[in-house]
Structure 1
Amino acid sequence: MNINTKLSLSFMMFLEFFIWSSWYVTLGTFLGSNLLAKDQEISLAFSTQSFGAIIAPFVVGLIADRYFHAQRILGVIHIIGAGLMYMLYTSSDFSGFFPILLIYMILFMPTLALVNSISFNQMKDPAKEFGKIRVWGTIGWIAAGLLISFMSWDSQEGLKEGLLRNTWLMGAVSSLVLGLFSFALPHTPPQPRTAGDFKLSEVLGLDSLGLLKHKNYAVFFISSILICIPLAFYYQNTSPFLTEIGLTNSTGKMALGQVSEVVFMLALPIFFSKFGIKKTLIVAMLAWAVRYVFFAFGDANEGVWMLLIGIALHGICYDFFFVSGQIYTDSHAGLKYKSSAQGLITFATYGVGMLIGFWAAGLISNYYTNEAGVHLWESIWLIPAGISVLVLLLFMALFKKEQINSHQ
């Protein structure tokens, strides 16, 4: 890639995740303080991510792989998204807010696959090049959170004044910028089709399910769904857990997870090239289990180092599994189904896996709560640790060593 292409793709990734982080991290707080939403309503709002991810491969398979340039679809979605986010900014109650958020997430989740597809289309060796581009997404995620704190929208005074509503306006503006910028991104045309080759299964993106005929990829696909069950515990429970046990500045300390994500994103190409896909995924799942064991036995006093290491392991957990998984998916997809294949793995992880995971995390957290309303965190965290170990053992037993062709 030339320098202009690298800069364009990096800016695309930065804005893609800046937009998501601008509202997602503070969504629960916003709903509770600004719209006076109940716990069940907040849970329903978070589930829109999974519903969007489940629909994503069909949207991408319908439009990106067959009919239109991926960068143009990305632009149109983000311009529409900017309007929807402005409507969320002006919402005054949950009944009006939820359907707009649901429509927005059905549109937004496919863009996670589209930005990957646009990036991979410009790369000769994704295993070495993708991490350097994708890291800007993590930087964008961190930047949005820091800006929210810098503007004090999430402070106690800001919450009283309703300033957290401004996150939606920030998201709307950044979404409009990415929407317009997308039309200047490198061309990512649909693959040429011959006359009369129309297939409904292909139009709906179902042909990418053919990847599951490959035993190794099927094992990876199932493992991706299962490993997202413990992942949901991290997203849903870590902040309440750290706050409840009395860790000061817990939100700031959780940012260590994104910092480590940047570090390990840069280390991923070296590790991936030296040790291959199987060992990379094994290290990721092992880190998942270790993280939750540390959370189970750590505390806010002498055991605070265990909590900090557990948070810092997020970089290995996420990068070594999800980013390497996107590269692995691209290597199996070939030219014809690059976009729909990325949609398929988004469906497995953010969709099915996270939906099951959020439900399980809520159920288990409620079960391990005593009569005083205090969570029995050691028991809660040991369950996702155990799930991680079981997924790891399943993967190690069934996934055979494979040399992927990253130049496809």
Structure 2
Amino acid sequence: MNLGIRVKLSTMMFLEFFIWGAWFVTMGTYLTVTLKATGTQNAGAYATQSLGAIIAPFVIGLIADKYFSAQKILGVLHLLGAASLYYATTITDFDKFYPNILFYMIIYMPTLALVNSVSFKQMKNPSKEFPWIRVFGTFGWIVAGIVIGLLGWEKSGTLVLTFKMAAVASLILGLLSFTLPDTPPVKKGQKTTFGDIIGLDSIGLLKNRSYLIFFLASVAICVPLAFYYNFTNPFLNEVGVKKAAGVQAMGQVSELAFMAAMPLLFVRFGVKKMLAIGMLAWVLRYIFFAYGDAGSGYWMLIAGIVMHGICYDFFFVTGQIYTDNLAGERFKSAAQGFITLATYGVGMLIGSYISGPVVDKWKISETSHNWQSIWLIPAGIAAVVLIFFLLFFKDRTSMATKPGLDIEEPSAQTQI
């Protein structure tokens, strides 16, 4: 890959995740403070991510893979996204905000797969080349959080500027996309079925008892995951954490560090221990949030955020690799699509609709909540999932000893 293409792909990845991180992390605070949204409304807005994840495979499977070059669709979607994000800055009530953000997520979520397609097309050895491109996406998310924190938009009540910042970045990426290397449709002229799109070809994996337990645990663990994505930023701002969005970016830094250590950890722990440690981290994270504060308990809040690397890498990345290894060459893509649809689609959707009413139930006043009671609920859910997994998951084989294992950077559609 020549330097010019590498720079373009790296910039594409940076902007792709900068756009998402620019508004997604602080949207809960914006909705609560500026639009006076309830916890249920807040969770409903975040649930649009899951709805977008469910619809995205159909956009890719029925349009991008068959009729148009990926970079052109990417450009059009981001130009539409820029208009939608800017329009969001003119909306003053939640009832109008919701359909707009739903529209945005429906057109944004497919771009996560499209940037991968454009990247892979230019690579001779994706397993070695892709991580060095994809890492710029994580940097983009981190930079967005740091910018918001440094400019003090949370404290000043001007989070509407996050949507304007994201709109400008989306416009730039939309225009840049048309200059990217051509990535023609890979299934032009081929018949695509509903089963192909949602990965039903891989459903046979569920006949493996251990994989079935893993699959059920994956869907269930996404319920407490929704609490983290939906309400961490409002929580941190409410308890008085300064530059909360910037502090949250430490989670992505942790993710990078643990990602680098994954190959060694696989050899040492194996699948069951890796997955269990990941779920245990979710339990501990929410306990830290429940009992931490912006004073003497500040270290607990930081620990909960930094544990993102363990929470995400140990469970979700391990699960992706476990799925890839069991599926075999024929069903690898279908299996990854199926598990992503089930977790970030169905699991997170359920979690969003549970988390909102829970937060509303423990609301004390217009500006405060009983966060200890709120956070102990996802901690309890994660603990139940962990116990279920430990009791019934029996596959103790070390992944590092199985033939054909190739540890790659996880799909962009599942990593943030």
| Same fold? TM cut 0.5 | yes
Q: CA deviation at 1:176?
A: 2.3
Distance 1:373 1:37, change over 3 A: closer
1:175 is aligned with what amino acid? S
What CA deviation, in whole Å up to 9, does each residue of 1:197-240 have, x standing for no partner? 6253256x13x122221136544443322111111222233344
Q: CA deviation at 1:123?
A: 6.4
- 8 Å contact 1:294–1:307 — kept in the other structure? yes
Q: CA deviation at 1:363?
A: 3.2
What CA deviation, in whole Å up to 9, does each residue of 1:342-389 have, x standing for no partner? 554442233221221122223334445679996554443333223223
**Paired residue secondary structure (2:191):** coil
Deviates most, 305-314 or 114-123? 114-123
Which residue does the alignment assign to 1:212?
A: 203
Which residue does the alignment assign to 2:167?
A: 172
Q: CA deviation at 1:9?
A: 3.6
Q: Do structure 1's residue 21 and structure 2's residue 21 form an aligned pair?
A: yes
What CA deviation, in whole Å up to 9, does each residue of 1:319-362 have, x standing for no partner? 33334445555664857874x66554442233221221122223
Which residue does the alignment assign to 1:105?
A: 105
Identical residues among aligned pairs (%) = 51
Q: Distance in 2 between matches of 1:333 and 1:180?
A: 38
Q: 5+ residue gaps in structure 2?
A: 409-416
What CA deviation, in whole Å up to 9, does each residue of 1:86-124 have, x standing for no partner? 332344544443322211111111222333444456363
Which residue does the alignment assign to 1:288?
A: 282
Q: CA deviation at 1:399?
A: 6.0
Q: Which residue, out of 383, 388, 400, partners 1:389?
A: 383
Deviates most, 6-15 or 242-251? 242-251
2:248 is aligned with what amino acid? M
2:311 is aligned with what amino acid? C
2:105 is aligned with what amino acid? M
1:62 is aligned with what amino acid? L
- 8 Å contact 1:191–1:336 — kept in the other structure? no
Q: CA RMSD in A?
A: 3.7
Q: TM (normalized to structure 2)?
A: 0.79
Distance 1:242 1:186, change over 3 A: same
Q: Distance in 2 between matches of 1:367 and 1:152?
A: 30
Distance 1:247 1:198, change over 3 A: closer
Q: Distance in 2 between matches of 1:92 and 1:362?
A: 21
Which residue does the alignment assign to 1:198?
A: 191
Q: Which residue, out of 220, 225, 233, partners 2:219?
A: 225
Q: Distance in 2 between matches of 1:335 and 1:190?
A: 20
Q: CA deviation at 1:284?
A: 1.9
Distance 1:79 1:333, change over 3 A: farther
- 8 Å contact 1:131–1:269 — kept in the other structure? no
Q: Do structure 1's residue 351 and structure 2's residue 342 form an aligned pair?
A: no
Distance 1:192 1:330, change over 3 A: farther
Q: Distance in 1 between matches of 2:243 and 2:160?
A: 23
Deviates most, 102-111 or 386-395? 386-395
Which residue does the alignment assign to 2:148?
A: 148
What CA deviation, in whole Å up to 9, does each residue of 1:112-142 have, x standing for no partner? 233344445636363x655444332221112
Q: Distance in 2 between matches of 1:187 and 1:327?
A: 29
Deviates most, 341-350 or 286-295? 341-350
Which residue does the alignment assign to 1:81?
A: 81
Q: Distance in 2 between matches of 1:87 and 1:280?
A: 43
Q: TM (normalized to structure 1)?
A: 0.80
Distance 1:249 1:64, change over 3 A: closer
Q: Distance in 2 between matches of 1:407 and 1:186?
A: 27
Deviates most, 98-107 or 78-87? 78-87
Q: Do structure 1's residue 259 and structure 2's residue 253 form an aligned pair?
A: yes
Q: 5+ residue gaps in structure 1?
A: none
Q: Which residue, out of 297, 322, 326, partners 2:316?
A: 322
Deviates most, 13-22 or 230-239? 230-239
**Paired residue secondary structure (1:154):** helix
1:230 is aligned with what amino acid? P
Matched pairs, number? 397
- 8 Å contact 2:44–2:356 — kept in the other structure? no
Q: Do structure 1's residue 124 and structure 2's residue 91 form an aligned pair?
A: no
